[in-house]
Amino acid sequence: QKEVEQNSGPLSVPEGAIASLNCTYSDRVSQSFFWYRQYSGKSPELIMSIYSNGDKEDGRFTAQLNKASQYVSLLIRDSQPSDSATYLCAALYNFNKFYFGSGTKLNVKP
Amino acid sequence: GAVVSQHPSRVICKSGTSVKIECRSLDFQATTMFWYRQFPKKSLMLMATSNEGSKATYEQGVEKDKFLINHASLTLSTLTVTSAHPEDSSFYICSARVGGGDYGYTFGSGTRLTVV
């Protein structure tokens, strides 16, 4: 099993602040990385994917990838209470298998 | 968009019985589906890869005789938890690749299994 690591949190930020979520992975074979949001009792929903070094922005979300450091992050700008959820980092191996981190619980306080 | 339908959403069964979970791809064909298990406050763990018309590939540590996977058609994969025990209580989720590109993977809604 490939290893994807995340800080379990909880990470608490005030409404309107920037939330920064981090993830490291241990296998250099991984080429694609994903951030999923999961509400309690629900399936994960895709937020963003990234596979090139650098930043990728989509609305309030920015994913960052540093392959040399084997590090992936997700920034959420203008955090809203509705962003409160568990965020899962995932790495795609062999072009078809996802391996997930343990997830970071985000709590955005009004 | 492409949808993976998973049933049942919740099931409670007695210890020692078997439970079948279905995962259907709607409006697309899925030659490969993936089964995950998630324990409370834990991440998703890949259990097995389900291949249409052939045997499933199980991840290390997953008992293939306990978790029977059948992928008899391009739109249906089933996971049967045999002789279930309370420690099998978990959230089971299936996933399928819709098509090319990074957004091509979609998850079912999950099945909450409780073994009493």
Single-letter amino acid code for the residue at A72: V
Residues of A in contact with B112 (CB under 8 A): 41
pLDDT per position as a tens digit, B18-48: 999 999 988 888 888 999 999 887 888 999 9
Residue B103: alpha-carbon gap to chain centroid: 20
Which of A87, A104, A110, A88 lies closest to A13, judged by CA?
A110
Q: In degrees to the nearest 10, what's the CA dihedral of B98, B94, A26, A11?
A: 110
Q: Is the pLDDT of residue A1 over 70?
A: no
Q: What is the mean pLDDT of residues B51-65?
A: 91
- The single-letter DSSP state of residue B88 is G
Comparing CB atoms, the residue among A42, A97, A102 nearest residue B46 is: A97
Residues of B in contact with A46 (CB under 8 A): 103, 105
Q: What is the pLDDT at residue B54?
A: 86
Distance CA B67, CA B101 (A): 30
Distance CA A54, CA A69 (A): 12
What average pLDDT is seen over chain A? 90
In angstroms, what CA-CA distances link B62 with A39, B11, B67? 26, 21, 8
Q: What is the pLDDT at residue A28?
A: 64
Q: What is the pLDDT at residue B99?
A: 63
Residue B49: alpha-carbon gap to chain centroid: 9
Angle, alpha carbons B95-B81-B54 (nearest 5°): 55
Does B45 reach chain A within 8 Å, measured CB to CB? yes
Q: What is the mean pLDDT of residues A20-30?
A: 84
Q: What is the mean pLDDT of residues A80-106?
A: 88
Q: Is the pLDDT of residue B104 over 70?
A: no
Does A44 reach chain B within 8 Å, measured CB to CB? yes
Q: How many CB pairs under 8 A join A and B?
A: 49
* Touching B: A residues 87-106, CB under 8 Å: 88, 92, 96-103
Q: How confident is the model at residue B102 (pLDDT cuts 50, 70, 90)?
A: low
Contact B112 A100 (CB under 8 A): no
